[in-house]
Amino acid sequence: MSTSMAPSEQHVGLIIREREPVNLEYPFDQLDTFLTPNDLFYIRSHFKAPVLDRHEYKLTIGGAVGKPFTISYEELLAMPSVTRPATLECAGNGRIFLVPQVKGAQWQLGGISTAEWTGVPLSALLERAGLDANACEVLFEAADKGTPKEEPVPPGETPYARSISVEKIADVVIAYAMNGEEIPVDHGFPLRVVVPGHYGMASVKWLTNIRVLTEPYKGYWQTSDYGYWAYDENRNPMRLALGQMQVKSAIARPRTREFIPAGSTYNVYGAAWGGEPYIETVELSTDDGKTWRPVRFLDEPQYGAWRRWEFEWAVPADKGTYVLKSRATDPKGTTQPEQHDKMNGTYVIHHTFGIEVVVR
């Protein structure tokens, strides 16, 4: 195992949030295509990227199954494959907009990207292994490890690991290709999990073990980090694992504090994602949330993928500062909240917030 490179000519155009380990943001104002080019796809890694050898690589499938087995990279490539798009959003995306400022990577808008993933359906591997009747979750274990940052921190090295519930199995792809290319090292070569519809932390990179569990997993990345607070019926707070991406939209253009000519026509451009099972409407306000009008979608609705949208703004002749806001809603009527929910700590930042622009 060696270490990944610091941001280099491989990462041209990405915004540095942390140099080592490599944490890079997609320049969200460049959002133009449904699929994010691999070079521009955001990178969120807790530790140095392990460099795994394709010939020596093995994936084990075990735990609460009838026939545990080990499979090589070549064998996986030979299995029937699926290809599907999925948007990954870091649960901390938008953190820089929290007031007062909080700890953690200061993601602006670009802790999100979309790729088309090719790989083996998780269900095919689990069918071969045979799930035990009492199977409850599937744990994904990875090759990277180190000292995490979110307190309380366990002593020694903590490997990255995350689970999903068995209800989610049907959506999951064990991916070896990203936008038709081999998965780049920083995105999890040779194999990564893709959990469409969940925040990025569920999509485990550098996957080495799949372990079927009979009880909910309570590991560090499921509770201490990437968890949220909920109350039981007696208002006892308890820690639950983050999962489903919440209803959200964001404005890619104009950028914050952009100058816009008075009396011009400006094409406001953005994306929306999350929701059950997709985003149905997005509205835009150019007066800080007083009035809202619907946008025009550029992409069809599909589970687990963003929908880009645009809105033709007849920019007023009156000079001054204008606050633009977008607001997404899903078919169940769930809409973006106006405030950040403190039960989510420094994660799930999906409330509507203003993008200030200067008309002159």
Ligand X SMILES: Nc1nc2c(c(=O)[nH]1)N[C@H]1C(S)=C(S)[C@@H](COP(=O)(O)O)O[C@H]1N2
Mark out the alpha helices in 177-290 (DSSP H runs): none
Q: Among ligand X, Mo ion, none, what binds residue 284 when CB lies within 5 to 8 Å by partner kind?
A: none
Q: Considering only 44-52, 118-126, 165-173, 292-300, which stretch makes contact with ligand X by CB under 6 A?
A: 44-52
How crowded is residue 28: how many other Cβ atoms within 10 Å of its Cβ? 25
275: left (phi over 0), alpha (psi -120 to 50) or beta: left
Is residue 42 at the binding interface for ligand X, with CB under 6 A as the rule?
yes
Min separation Cβ 228 and ligand X, Å: 15
Q: Which is nearer to Mo ion, 222 or 285 (CB)?
A: 222
Identity of the residue, 7 or 200, whose beta carbon is nearer to Mo ion in the bound complex: 200
Round the CA-based radius of gyration of the chain to a whole number and report it. 21
Closest approach, Cβ 46 to ligand X, in A, equals 4
Minimum distance from CB of 18 to Mo ion (Å)? 12
In this structure, the number of other CB atoms found within 10 A of the CB of residue 69 comes to 13
Strand partners, 320: 359
| Tokens 């969120």 belong to residue | 44
Q: Are 287 and 322 in contact (CB under 8 A)?
A: yes
Structural contact between residues 273 and 89, judged by C-beta atoms closer than 8 angstroms:
yes
Site string for ligand X, 268-307 (x = CB under 6 A): ----------------------------------------
Q: Does 187 bind ligand X (CB under 6 A)?
A: yes
Structure-block tokens of residue 45: 């890694």
Contacts with ligand X, 128-157, as mask; x by CB under 6 A: --------------x-x-------------
What is the C-alpha to C-alpha distance for residues 213 and 63, in angstroms, rounded to an integer? 6
For ligand X, give the closer residue by CB, 159 or 316.
Answer: 159
Q: Residue 201 has which token pair?
A: 């932390």
Residues 12-41 that bind ligand X (CB under 6 A): 41
Asked if 160 touches ligand X (CB under 6 A), the answer is yes
325 lies in the binding site for ligand X (CB under 6 A): no
Question: In terms of Cα–Cα distance, which of 250, 156, 144, 261 is closest to 205?
Answer: 144
- # of chain residues touching ligand X (CB under 6 A): 18
107 is in the binding site of which of Mo ion, ligand X, none (Cβ under 5 to 8 A by kind)? none
| DSSP assignments along 140-152, one per residue | EEEEEEE---SSS
Q: Report the interface residues with ligand X, using CB under 6 A.
A: 41-46, 88, 90, 142, 144, 160, 187, 200-201, 203-206
